[in-house]
Structure 1
């Protein structure tokens, strides 16, 4: 399904369930996210005062999504995937938590040092992953900065902190094996 078709279906779905009531322009930002990441899986939160499209398995911080999950009774969550016939499957809270816990790197599929470095570099090149509320560190994506990133993510994105820990450990294993 094309991105334009998904956008039209999202507009129709939003109108059908009459959310958001206020800050409807949030949906335009959702479309920008959809255009950036393309045809992947998302969680779409629609609530009385806005919306949020959360791309899954890209390393984005789940902070805002969890905040509204815990504190906004008007929030409804939908799994968006064009792979299934049901484009907007409404999710229960535990299902949202399970989906956002999925890591952006499949470590079991990485079998070379180069593949690991390429995967981490790709993650660290995404501003939605490395930025946090008006602050973006200036570290490089090279392996020599991975400890700095791990420390940065310890304050901003717990999932990416775990990814960086695993990446550092895996890189050390590759380095030991080649020594």
Structure 2
């Protein structure tokens, strides 16, 4: 009986150690998270205290983490950012021509044919609410937004580069 118990313990240990080597780590390659730029939008930056528009129009971008590219998300979006380096990617003007989606006052997502075109590696920090950029979407703000902006965190891009894989 002791021999059988020892064999079972050994078998359990062997199986435990062999499965450890098979687990996939989700560490960013070279410290960079793989992501896609999947849309953009123009907003009027607002004053944090008064909520009044400053008149400064800024472009925001939709970031989808590469690991979520095949997810069944209602909106293909993990984060938004207002500090994508302007020389990082050359997005055609026709993809940037809409300020926002007029149907739901959300971002203008790129057509499916461009969904996987703009691959980037990035280091970023998720901003807390006091550091986020406050913004309004013109007449959408007055009519009540239907896009759930509050569900998506803003990020500050610390470093980014184009990826090909």
**Structure 1 length-normalised TM:** 0.25
Larger radius of gyration: 2
- Structure with the higher fraction of residues in strand conformation: 2
- Structure with the higher fraction of residues in helix conformation: 1
